[in-house]
Structures are given as structure tokens and as C-alpha cells.
Amino acid sequence: MAKPEIEILGAAGTVTGSCHLLSFSGEQLLVDCGLFQGSRTLEELNREPFPFDPTRLVAVLLTHAHLDHSGLLPRLYAEGFRGSIWCTGPTADLLAVMLPDAAKIHEMDTERRNRRWDRADEPQIEPLYTLDDALGALELRRIVKLDRLEQISPHFEARFWNAGHILGSASIEVVVDETHLVFSGDIGPRNKSFHAEPEGPAGVDHLFCESTYGDRPREPVTVEERRDLLEAEVHRALALGGNLIIPVFALERTQELLLDLATLLNSGRLKSTTVFIDSPLASKATDVFRRHRRELEDLEHGEVFNHPKFHFVESVEVSMRLDALSGAIILAASGMCEGGRVRHHLRNNLPRSDSTVLFVGYQAQGTLGRTLSDGAGRVRISGHDVAVRAHVRRLECYSAHADQGELVEWVWARQPINGTLFLTHGEENATKMLRDKIGEREFPIVIPEIGERYELAAGQPAKRLKTGRTDLRAAIGGDWQNRYADLAVNLKRDLQRIESNQRRMEALAQMREILDRFATPEKGEKRKGR
């Protein structure tokens, strides 16, 4: 007799592209449908054909509105999906902001890249999806309440549980053929502003748990201690005389920072400090927080977002005028510096030794944010080589993800686990360290690869039916384009370190020979044989 099956289509070996395909008795649904984010090679996976027929899907169960979980919904719609997108009310409202914005960015970025002089001889590219696709996907939203079992289709039931990650986030329990599955989504940490601690059912067959911070415990930090740390970073940065640039995720991270900055300003601990929120998306997301303030902790009145020192920047013209400032705090998207207005502010502030860049969120492998936080001395931004003289700092206490210890506690609270624990949504080191921390004493632990398919029977370990895509291993993390950017921005300086013009010419000639050999391997083999 056939058993439920699952295929892992994203967020395996990486923290983005969350997508799981569940199949049983002719019915198929997705848990999440997210964008891959990071290196160019990884992002190209967003353009690959779906390994399923979108017109056959009965539903998408959505854990939350972050684009690495929801950002391919418009493309799914464009290719014929007309089922329901089940999500919480706040998530539905956030999607109305996030998906149209993502579509506009795809359209604008495509136009900009097609105009770039350094790719004038390359084929024109098309946007991943359009605004019309995003608006069409929004028509498919279906709102659920937490802790209520919903009949999704004849064979699938689902219940949503508070995940404590961002506004509207949920872990999802799925019941199919008497098999209980739980998908963690992203789990929030303790002492998270706005949200109660994450929940979930006890007694499951198969558990799919994120592992973003599975490799690191964090020092426990109270809300007041977090504000102390933020205050110290602000004072340190502004004492230098330059700007404080904070790359932020428009959703949740921005609102947390505004809550803490308003508290510090109101208490007099920060004085005469202007805060610019340079992200139209963050402005719209903040409006959603205002509408849901009665559902959230710390926002009974909501006026913290209307502080007189906060200036929400809407137009590009005003954003560009921020170049002339010194001594300002600028919150700008995106959080990993892969797009948005923050890249413009980085181009202008990274060469300034009096400016500071403060990272307050996760930086995935292959992103500009990761390159900067790893200490790069030069970076490439939108075709420009930029020297890094600014101070680069990090604050871990604003993470929206549970750390290693909190993930272990959340997993153990789901016991008994009668089948298999799958560790997903994490880089290789994080998932392996979390696996070792949990230990396989009570149940088997699987770290899947993208493309693996499993049979999920009740009360039995999962059975692998299909191996993963080994061709994707090289796409996860930094790719050749990251290494090219590093080589390109440092090449002139490296050549100048060579002692003579003659030896520089020899070095360039050898580089050209190597490139030609790899570009024409047959010819290279003949040379090698001579």
C-alpha cells in the first residue's frame, strides 16, 4: 500500500529556497515555496523548471512571509498553480507587501542588468516573474487561525502553531494517512520582541527542523541587555563622526530596531540622533505591524514607530541625498546586501574610515554581507570596485532564529519522535553540529540534499527513494563568481606588489594561458601530451 512521500526541493545544505513537495494518493501540496538567495549560481536555481506540475498542486502551506519561504509563489502562479495558499492572517497581509515589491525588484534589476556595459555582448534576461504574477498569487491566499485543524484536501489536514520567528510565522503540523509530520519553519529565540515563545505538538512521526544556527550557542541576552549593546554600538559609531549603516531585513528586523531605538531615545540614552529608514518595503511592513499591534507583545499602543526622530525615506531622490550626511543612522534593505538601497549606501560609506557598517542578521554564504563580515578589504558592488575602510561590526543578539541550545530544546519537546528527524535550512557545518548535539539515541537523524525523496510511514524511519542532486553541491555557498569578484577587485593591487613591469607582464601572460587552456580543454590536453 502506498505511503506518503516527500521530496526536498530547497533549504538543504543552504538556508534559502525552502520548499518541500508532499505526495499521497494522487494529491500533491507544497510546504513553502521560497527563493534561493546568495551566489549568482545559487540564484539561478530560481529559474530552473519546477520538478513537479504546478497545475496539479492542491495547496501551498506557508510558514511565513520571508522571501526565502514565499518568494517563488508568483512564479508558481505564472506556471498555472490555482490551488489555495494557506497562511495566518498576518502572513497574508505581509504577502500583500512582500510579493509585489519582489516582483518590482525583479523587473527593475533585470532592466538594470540588461543595460550594464560589462554584459552588453550577453543575451538579454527576463524577470523571474512580473507584478501581475504577484497580484495573481495574492488572490489565492486562504487565512487560517493557529491551533485549529484544517481540512486542506481529501487526504491532507494541517494545523498551524506559533513559531515565534516573525509576525505571522508558524510551524505546520500535517496529518496524512495517519502519519503526523511537523515542519518547523523558522523557530524564534527566547526574549524575542513582539512574540511569545515557539510552540508545537508533542508526539510526531517525522520532524523537519531548521538548523540555521545549529552550530552556535549564543550568550543569553535579555531585552534590556540587547538595548545596552545597541546603545554602545551607536555611541561608538557616531563618535567617529561618520554614518552608521545598518543593513536590515525590511520585515521584523527593522521593527525590532525601531522599538529599541525609540526606547533609547525616549530614555535620553541616545540624543540628537536622526534615524533614516531607507526602504519603502520596510515602511509598508511597519504599517502591517501597526495594524496587528494588539496581537503582539511590546506594541500595545504602536506609537514607537511614529517617533519624531524616525524618517521613512520613500523616494530615490531623497535616498540619494543621504550621501551628503554624516552622523546619521541609516537602516536600509536588504539585510544580506544582495539588493536594495543598502548597496548604494555601502558604495558611499565603505571607503570612509569614519563610517561603520553594523550587521544585525544572518549572512548567508556567497552574499556581499558575508564577504564584508568575513573581513574583505575590497569588494565589488554593482560593477564597481570599492575599498573597505569603514568599521565592520556585528550584533548577534538580534537574530530571529533560535540558537543551537534552543533548537535542541524545541526538538526534544516534540517527543516522542516515532520516525525520523530531518535537519534542513542550514549550512553544512550548522546541520552537522546540531545533529551531533542532539545525538541519534532515540531516532535516526537525516541531513537531506536537494532532490532527495523519502517515503514517510507512520511509526517507522523514513525510507529514501531517490538520491539528491550532486550537481548542486558546488552551487551552495560561494561560487566562481564570488571568487572572480574577489580576484577582480584585488588584481591591480596584487600586480603592483610584483617588483618589475617585466614580471607583471609575465604574470598576466601566464594567467591568460591558464584561462585559454581551461576554456579549450581538448587543446590543453594536446599541449599537455607534447
- Per-residue pLDDT reduced to its tens digit, 78-93: 999 999 999 999 999 9
CATH number of 223-398: 3.40.50.10890
Asked if the model's pLDDT at residue 340 lies above 80, the reply is: yes
> How many H helices and E strands in the chain?
16, 23
- Per-residue pLDDT reduced to its tens digit, 277-286: 999 999 999 9
> b or e along 158-195 (b: 16 or more beta carbons within 10 Å of the residue's beta carbon)?
bbbbbbbbbbbbbbbbbbbeebbbbbbbbbbbbebbbb
Helix 428-438 vs helix 404-412: crossing angle, to nearest 10: 50
- Per-residue pLDDT reduced to its tens digit, 490-516: 777 788 888 888 888 888 889 888 888
478 or 178, which is more confident?
Answer: 178
> Residue 469: CB partners within 8 Å, gap ≥ 6?
449, 450, 451
Determine contact, residues 388/494, Cβ cutoff 8 Å: no
Annotate 456-502 with three-state secondary structure: CCCCCCCEEEECCCHHHHHHCCCCHHHHHHHHHHHHHHHHHCCCCHH
pLDDT at 523: 47
Q: Which of 260, 280, 272 is nearest to 327 (CA)?
A: 272
> Residue 20: CB partners within 8 Å, gap ≥ 6?
6, 7, 8, 9, 30, 31, 32, 183, 208
CATH number of 5-216+400-475: 3.60.15.10
Residue 530 binned pLDDT confidence (cut-offs 50, 70, 90): very low
Q: Name which of 48-62, 160-174, 230-244, 292-306 the model is least confident about.
A: 292-306
- Report DSSP letters for 352-399, one per residue: -TT-EEEE-S---TTSHHHHHHTT-SEEEETTEEEE--SEEEE-GGG-
- Report DSSP letters for 342-365, one per residue: HHHHHHHHTT-TT-EEEE-S---T
> b or e along 475-496 (b: 16 or more beta carbons within 10 Å of the residue's beta carbon)?
bbbbbeebeebbeebeeeeeee
In this prediction, residues 177-188 reach a mean pLDDT of: 97
Asked if the model's pLDDT at residue 1 lies above 70, the reply is: yes
Asked if the model's pLDDT at residue 343 lies above 50, the reply is: yes
pLDDT at 271: 85
For residue 299, the SS3 value is coil
In this prediction, residues 137-141 reach a mean pLDDT of: 98
Asked if the model's pLDDT at residue 310 lies above 60, the reply is: yes
pLDDT at 458: 97
> Residue 133: CB partners within 8 Å, gap ≥ 6?
74, 75, 77, 78, 103
Asked if the model's pLDDT at residue 483 lies above 80, the reply is: no
In this prediction, residues 465-492 reach a mean pLDDT of: 74
Q: Which three three-digit cell numbers place residue 157?
A: 489536514
Query: pTM here?
Result: 0.86
Domain boundary assignment for the chain: 5-216+400-475, 223-398, 498-529
296 or 414, which is more confident?
Answer: 414
Amino acid at the residue 204: V
- Phi-psi domain of 356 (left: phi exceeds 0; alpha: psi -120 through 50; beta: other): beta
Residue 302 binned pLDDT confidence (cut-offs 50, 70, 90): low
